[in-house]
Amino acid sequence: MPLEIRPSQALRLWRQVHLDLVRDGESDLSARQTAILLTIYLELPPHTVRGLAAQLGVTKPVITRALDSMGKLGLVTRRRDETDRRNVVIQRTVAGALAVERLADCVVERAREIGAT
């Protein structure tokens, strides 16, 4: 069954979740970083810099820098692929999984509230 949502509901949901993100101030992730983080945690591994760059339609340095900053936040980790040492495998972390889960809960909760149209 399709997930039905009207435009006005979509906008209120989008606004409310963004308000939560801004107010908590914890994430500080740009749209690109958010897309990268969720791709890592939703799509099947392994993830590489090149693969992420292709999926997002951005250049490789964008991915490298995003991984740098998200790594500093403990949201992801990098490791050399021993079978092909040119590759770098991006790995998930507990902190990253928790952050993703928190985001999901926020969206779910705000969607529930919006039901009272």
Partner DNA sequence: CGGTAATGATACGGGTCCGTAACGATCGGG
Partner DNA sequence: CCCGATCGTTACGGACCCGTATCATTACCG
Name the residues that contact DNA, by CB under 7 A: 30, 32-33, 48-51, 58-69, 78, 83-88
Task: Return d(Cα 109, Cα 3) in angstroms, integer.
Answer: 16
Q: Which is nearer to a copy of itself, 68 or 101 (CB)?
A: 101
Q: Tell whether omega for the bond before 45 is within 30 degrees of 0, i.e. cis.
A: no
Q: Which is nearer to a copy of itself, 13 or 89 (CB)?
A: 13
116 binds, among DNA, a copy of itself, none (CB under 5 to 8 A by kind): a copy of itself
Residue 75 CB neighbours (<10 A): 25
Q: Which is nearer to a copy of itself, 26 or 68 (CB)?
A: 26
Residue 89 CB neighbours (<10 A): 17
Q: Which is nearer to a copy of itself, 57 or 83 (CB)?
A: 57
Beta bridge partner(s), residue 76: 92
Which residues make up the interface to a copy of itself (CB under 8 A)?
Answer: 1-15, 18-19, 21-23, 25, 27, 29-32, 34-35, 38-39, 41-42, 55-58, 100-101, 103-105, 107-108, 111-116
Nearest to 55 by CA among 42, 68, 65: 42
